[in-house]
A = this chain, B = another copy of it.
Amino acid sequence: MRAHNFSAGPAALPLPALEQARDELLDFQGTGMSIMEQSHRDAPYEAVHHEAQALLRELAGIPDSHAVLFLSGGASLQFAMVPMNLLGAGRSADYLMTGVWSEKAYAEAQTVGRARIAATTVQPDKRYTRIPRPDELQLDPDASYVHITSNNTIFGTQWTSFPDTGKAPLVADMSSDFLWRPVDVRRFGLIYAGAQKNLGPSGVLIAVIDRELAARGRTDIPRILRYDTHISADSLYNTPPTFGVYLVRNVLRWVKEQGGLTAMEVRNRKKAELLYGTLDAMRDFYTAPVERESRSAMNVVFRLPSEALDAAFVAEAKAHALVGLKGHRTTGGIRASLYNAVSVEDVQVLVGFMRDFARRHG
C-alpha cells in the first residue's frame, strides 16, 4: 500500500513516473542498459534531456528569452551562484526576508559581496508568519537584483503576487513553489528550484534564466559556477545527474497528462482549501499561525494544544500511513506538504484523521 506522503522534500512522486522508472530500470528502450548506464553524450539520454527541457518550456510557458538549465548542488549552491554571477563589483543586491531559506541565501550572498535586507517580516521569536506588504519593501533602485524565496517551506508562507522590482531583475528561489500553478516567467530574471518538491528526486536543480542577464554575469569566477557556461553547453558542460533528469522527464509527462499547470492549480487549491478549511473549522484544537493572505498552498503548518499532542499526532498519523507530517526541526509542530503528487484523496484521509484525532484528544 502506498503511504500518504506529506514530506516537505524529498517528497511524494507521481506513481506513474515511478512505475515507468521501475519497468525500464534494467533496459531502457531495448538498449540492454539502464538509462543511468548510458553516456550523457549518446542519443538515448540526449532525447530524455531535450524532452524534459521542452516539456518544462511548454508546461511553464517559458519564453525563448529564458534558458532552461539542469544543474546540480540544489538551491543551496544557487545561494552562492546567484551573487557570484549577478552581484556587480561595487554594487549591492536586495534580499526580501521571509524565512530560514531567505536568511541562508542572504548570508551566502554576504560571503560574495554586498547584500542588503530590503524587507523582513521576522518576529522577535525569529519566526515568520507572513509575506511583506508592497508598502513595506524598501528597494534599492540600483540593486543588482532582488531576491525572494517565493514559498517558505518551513514557515508555510507564500508570495501570492510578486513584487515590482523596477529595473532590478527579480530572482526567485521557487524550490517548493515551481510548477504547481501558472506563473508569468517573463517577470523573472532567474527562477531556480530544487527538483525534490514538485518535479522529481533530489540531486537536480532547475534554473530558468534570462539569457541577457546570464550574458552580463561576471566572468572572473570559476567556469562551472557561471550560468553562461551551462547555457552555452545546453546543460551538458559536465555530466548531468542523468537519472534525476530522466525522472523529472517522467514527472513532467504526468503533469502534462493531468492537464498541465491550469489543472494542477485547480487540484492544488482544492487540497489547500480542504486542509485550511479543516484548520479554520477546528481552531479550538489546531492553530495555524500564518496570516491568511500569506498562507502557502504547498506547505501547511499548524500546531496542536501541546508539544506532547504534536508528537502523538505524528506518531498516530504514521500508524495510519500518513507520513512526513513532523514540522521542521527548527520550528516543531506539524507540517503537511501538498506538492503536485499529493492527491486530493490523500488530503481527505488526512483531514479525516485530524477530525478523529481532535475528537479523541480535544
Residues of A within 8 A of B (CB): 1-3, 5, 7-13, 15, 18-19, 21-22, 25-27, 31-34, 36-42, 45, 72-77, 79-80, 84, 107-108, 111-112, 194, 196, 201-204, 220-225, 237-244, 247, 321, 323-324, 329
Contact = CB atoms under 8 A, between A and B. Distances in A.
Which applies to chain A's interface (DSSP): helix, strand, loop or mixed? loop
Nearest to A245: B203
A204 B202 contact: no
Nearest to A24: B22
A243 B202 contact: yes
A140 to B, nearest CB: 22
A239 B202 contact: yes
A74 B239 contact: yes
Contacts of A75: 238
Contact of A243 (B8, B27, B201, B239): B201
Given A36-B13, A223-B107, A224-B108, A239 B19 contact: no
Contacts of A2: 26-27, 32-33
Given A33-B323, A238-B74, A240-B202, A7 B222 contact: no
Contacts of A324: 39, 42
A297 to B, nearest CB: 20
Given A10-B38, A22-B26, A73-B77, 19 more contacts: A2-B33, A3-B33, A7-B37, A10-B45, A10-B242, A22-B22, A31-B323, A36-B202, A72-B74, A73-B73, A76-B224, A76-B238, A79-B222, A107-B223, A201-B241, A201-B242, A203-B204, A203-B243, A241-B241
Contacts of A76: 224, 237-238
Contacts of A247: 36
A7 B224 contact: no
Identical copies of this chain, number:
2
Nearest to A226: B111
14 contacts: A2-B33, A7-B39, A10-B36, A15-B26, A18-B26, A33-B323, A42-B324, A72-B241, A77-B224, A108-B222, A111-B221, A203-B203, A243-B243, A243-B244
A129 B58 CA distance: 47
Which of A5, A7, A80, A225: most chain B Cβ within 10 A? A225
A63 to B, nearest CB: 28
Contacts of A38: 7, 10
A11 B37 contact: yes
Contacts of A12: 33, 37
Contacts of A108: 222-224
Q: Which 6 A-B pairs have the closest CB atoms?
A: A203-B241, A3-B32, A80-B222, A76-B238, A36-B201, A22-B25
B241 A321 contact: no
Nearest to A3: B32
A206 to B, nearest CB: 14
B111 A220 contact: yes
Nearest to A78: B224
Contacts of A79: 222, 224
Nearest to A77: B224
A36 B341 CA distance: 13
A204 to B, nearest CB: 7
